[in-house]
Every structure is written in C-alpha cells, then in structure tokens.
Structure 1
Amino acid sequence: MAGPVIDVRATGAPEEQWESWRQRCAPLRLAPVPRLVVVAAHPDDEVLGAGGLIAMVRAAGIAVTLVTVTDGEASHPKSPTHSPSRLAELRIGESCRAASELGAEAPIRLGMPDGDIASHEDWLEDELGALLSGFPEPGTVCAATWRHDGHPDHEAVGRAAAAACAATDTELLEYPVWMWQWAAPGHSRILRCAPEVLALPPTAHAAKCRALAHFRSQVLPLSDDPADAPILPAHVLRRFTGPAETYFR
C-alpha cells in the first residue's frame, strides 16, 4: 500500500481538530460550468468524497458524468460468504442507486482490477483523456480521488486524472477519502496542498446521506465472520456525513 497504512479500526484525529482546520480553509468557489466529471477508484468513493457537490451541481441543472474505475470486488478479500464477483455485483448496484439519489446517471464503469490500478495507470490516463476531450462544451471540471490519499488505487486514479486534466486543459479538484483515517491537519502532505471547503446546503447534505445509505455492503457486516466486517464502520462513515466537503486544487 502506498503511503500510511489504513486501519479502519483506528479513530483518527479528533473531529474537533478537523473542524478547526476546515474553518481556516478557503471556501470552494467554482465558476459556472457546463459539466462535472467525478472519477472514483471504487464504487462509493464518488459519494463519500463528492456526493454533496454532485447533488448541488445536478440541482442546478448541470450535467454530471460519474466514472468508477474498478467494480470494488476486492473490498473483502478474505470473505467466506461473498466471492469477488458477488461483491462487484453488489457494489455496482449500490453505486447506481446512490447516483440516482443524487440526480445523476449510473456511473461509467471501466472495469479495472481492484487493488492494481497502478499497473494500468497509463491506460487509465488515456481513457480519462479521451473522455474529457470528448465533451463539446469547454469548461468541464473533473473531481478525482486525491493523489496522496494513502490508498494505492486512490493515488493512481489521482495521478492519472491529474495528467489527463493537464493534457485537456480541464480544471481538476481532488477529494480525500482515507486521509481522515491516517492524517492530522498538520501532516506534511496536507501542508503542501491548498484545501478548499464546500459548505453543503441542507438539501444536498440530505441527498448525500441518503446516497451513502445505499452502500450496505460497505457500511454493514456481510456476516458475523470477522473477514466480513464493515469497511466503513460508523466512526469512519461519520467523517463523510457532515455538512461540508474538502477538496484540493
């Protein structure tokens, strides 16, 4: 795994520290855009990191294109009850229902191997570049998992998206997912970035929370076996249900 090891049992830095940090961040301001593209390493990243933004953009009548790079089949690698293909089936359905909750179309699925995106990073960069260059209207904004998020798949997606955006003159936003688990506001990776915070109106906040509830395979145990424990237990999920989202430029 790239960067710090992620332990979903850990509680991470206290929320009070993060809230104080968010209050010092600049607000996220986006000029009117014709389209938002959100790229997720796994089905659920798009809602965890950018669900409120998606809901806000769709409420404004702006087009949204969601891209899930993998189908999330490796979320429970030692599960005695769910095969990788069954996990993929569940997660695809969950992401489609969550997208509908936010007013968006079902994600484009790229079907890359969960846990090994870095081995196919050049291909992903080309795919994202072709997607971004294929929109007729200028001014598209792309949001992707942060390239320093501490998870190898998230980081590979972030790097590929950054390269594709640079090649197509597309504005890039990066959203953290696992950062909340291993970092604290003074971490050197964060200090090198320019964080911006998006305050969510109540309707967008509520839509995001409803969308997150669809990811039952991640927030609830698959069985009583320890290998089927939630990937997003309650203390982790709380990081994403607040009234704001964080982005890096």
Structure 2
Amino acid sequence: MNTNPIQGQGTSPQAWKASRRLAAVADIDGAELVPVGSRAVIISPHPDDEILGCGGLLQLLAREHRQVLLISVTDGSASHPTSSYWTPERLSIARPLESADALKRLGLPLNQMQWVHGGFPDTGVASRESELVAFLSTYLQPSDVVFTTWREDGHSDHEAVGRASLAAAQARGARVHEIPVWAWHWASPEDPRIPWDRARKLPLDKWAQARKRHAIQAFASQLYSDPGTGHEPVLSAVTVERLQQPFEVVFL
C-alpha cells in the first residue's frame, strides 16, 4: 500500500506540465482502449472519481456508442467526518445526485447507461475487499474493459477498489486499466514509483476539456468550504486544476 499522505497542496500543476516523463507518455485512442463489441466498466470508489479520472473517456465512449456500466462502490458519505452540515445521511443522498448531474453535463443521459451502487462503506472498503471482489464478479463479462483507480493511488479506498477490480476482472477474463487520481498529488514529476512503462495518454480536445470542467463543478459538496466547520474544500482548486489536463492517463 502507498504510504504517501494526502496533505497540503501537493505537487503543483506547473511541475507536472514540466515533467519530462509525463511529456514522453505515448497517446492512445479511445476506440483502441475499448474495441468495438466491448463494454466499458467504470469502477469508481466514490461519486466524483468517475468524472475526475474518466470524464474525458466517458465522452469518447458516448461518441463511439460503446456500452457503459458505472459501478459506484461507496456513496461518499464519509467525506466530512466532523461536519454538522454535511452529515453522512445528507452526503449519502447529495453525492450520488452530484454524480448524476455531472454525467448529464458530460452528455451521458442515465437512460443510456447502466449504473450500479455498491453500498460499501466509505473509507472502509479494504475491510470488505473479498466481498467487493465477489460483488464485482457478478457484473463483469469476459469481453468487458474495466477502468478503475490505481492500486497504489495513495487513498485506501482507491487502492482497495483497484485490487478488487483486478481480481474480479482476472476471474472473469476481462481486461483492466488503472486510473491515477491522488497520485498526481503525492508523486513527483519524474517519480519512479509511477508505472511509466504502462502509462498512456488519452488526448482530449478543447470541447471535451470544457465539458469535463463543467461536470466537475457539479460536485458542490467537495468544492466549497464546509458551512458546518469552515474547513477547506475536500477538492482544492489546485487538485481540480491537476485533473484538468488536455489528456487523461491510464495504466494499461
């Protein structure tokens, strides 16, 4: 498990833009990632991870008329543990609704995709990892292409979901690609811990970037200071900027 704490502002977007290793990562086409006849399965630890990591990919999949299954493992209800305003009960309703709004902003009507809610405990996925493997296995097919968070991403839920997704996909004969989300925070621009040899960049045109930016703004619970405690947003402006590059990175 990655021991890098997710604290402070992390590595700046400017540092990543200057990264030689990131610049050298080869491009890959969305149609190549998900061939004709395959279904894309996006396995998201929390409502918002599917947009932060795959908002551009989701648009490309819709454009290519690929089938999409979105699995939200948790409801994100533990994002504000001390808040009197963002209680777990309120978050369990608000965060999935924010994801639904974000998907619409991407141009992905919910009646054109399948969306499954896992109901696993936010921040506690690792304690039920074997159960998650069994749960995911019931939905996966051999022809699926799975996209999930990286097993070394630095957040316990992201890592547990990554491991469980890989195990379930291997059991079902499906392909798996991993998406870094919090790694951009704790890693350095030339960091050898990043699996650069497996990395590919999915280019996003200006329209796809704009729609992803608009979709991210749907996550009000994560983007604004907590009215109950006055704490800073879960997703700082720097965090959001790092995830709005003209490409998305996948680890094949």
Same fold (TM over 0.5): yes
Aligned residues of 1:42 and 1:72 also touching (Cα < 8 A)? yes
Is the CA contact 1:13–1:183 (under 8 Å) kept in the aligned structure 2?
no
The answer to whether the Cα contact below 8 Å between 2:22 and 2:189 also exists between their aligned partners in 1 is no
Corresponding position of 2:119: 111
The runs of at least 4 aligned residues of structure 1 exceeding 4 Å deviation read: none
Q: Give the conservation status (yes or no) of the 8 Å contact 2:25–2:200.
A: yes
The equivalent residue for 1:238 is: 241
Structure 2 unaligned residues grouped into runs of 5+: none
1:193 Cα deviation from its structure 2 partner:
5.2
1:39 aligns with 2:47: no
Q: Residues 6, 236 of structure 1: CA spacing in aligned structure 2 closer, same or farther, 3 A cutoff?
A: same
Separation (CA, whole Å) in 1 of partners of 2:79 and 2:155: 13
Give the aligned partner of residue 227 of structure 2.
223
Contact 2:46 2:73 in 1 (8 A): yes
| Greater displacement, 30-39 / 173-182 | 30-39
Q: Distance in 1 between matches of 2:16 and 2:207?
A: 26
SS of alignment partner, residue 144 of structure 1:
strand
Separation in structure 2 between the aligned mates of residue 225 and residue 85 of structure 1, nearest angstrom: 17
Is the alpha carbon distance of 1:217 and 1:242 closer, same or farther for their aligned partners in structure 2, counting shifts above 3 Å? same
Partners of 2:187 and 2:248 lie apart in 1 by: 16
Give 5+ residue unaligned stretches, structure 1: none
Does residue 168 of structure 2 align to residue 160 of structure 1? no
Counterpart residue identity of residue 128, structure 1 = L
1:104 positional shift:
4.7
8 Å contact kept, 2:12–2:238:
no
- CA gap of 1:226–1:247, structure 2 versus 1, over 3 A, is same
How big is each residue's C-alpha offset from its partner over 1:119-140, in whole Å with a ceiling of 9 and x where there is no partner? 111111111111013xxxx632
TM alignment of 1:80-229, pairs within 5 A: 80-102=84-106, 103-105=108-110, 107-133=115-141, 139-191=143-195, 194-223=198-227, 225-227=229-231, 229=232
1:197·1:246 contact (CA, 8 Å) conserved in 2?
yes
Q: Which amino acid aligns with 1:78?
A: T
SS at match of 1:132: coil
TM-score by length of 2: 0.89
Q: Is the 8 A contact 2:48 2:219 kept in 1?
A: yes
Contact 1:141/1:172, CA 8 A, preserved across alignment: yes
Residue identity opposite 2:85 in structure 1:
T
CA contact (8 A) 1:42 1:68 kept: yes
Query: Which residue does 2:55 correspond to in 1?
Result: 51
Q: Hey, what's the Cα distance between the residues in 2 that align with 1:143 and 1:19?
A: 27
Aligned residues: 243
Cα shift readout 1:51-107 (whole Å, capped 9, x = no counterpart): 100011112211111111000001011112221110111101001111222215273
Distance 2:28 2:169 in 1: 19
CA distance in structure 2 between the aligned counterparts of 1:90 and 1:76, rounded to whole angstroms: 13
Q: Percent identity over the alignment?
A: 38
Quick check: 188-197 or 142-151, which moved more? 188-197
Structure 2: distance between partners of 1:139 and 1:230: 39
What residue number does 1:6 align with? Answer: 6
Task: Mark the CA change 1:193 to 1:119 in structure 2 (over 3 Å): closer, same or farther.
Answer: farther
Considering only aligned residues, what root-mean-square deviation do their CA atoms show, in Å?
A: 1.9
**Deviates further, 85-94 or 198-207:** 198-207
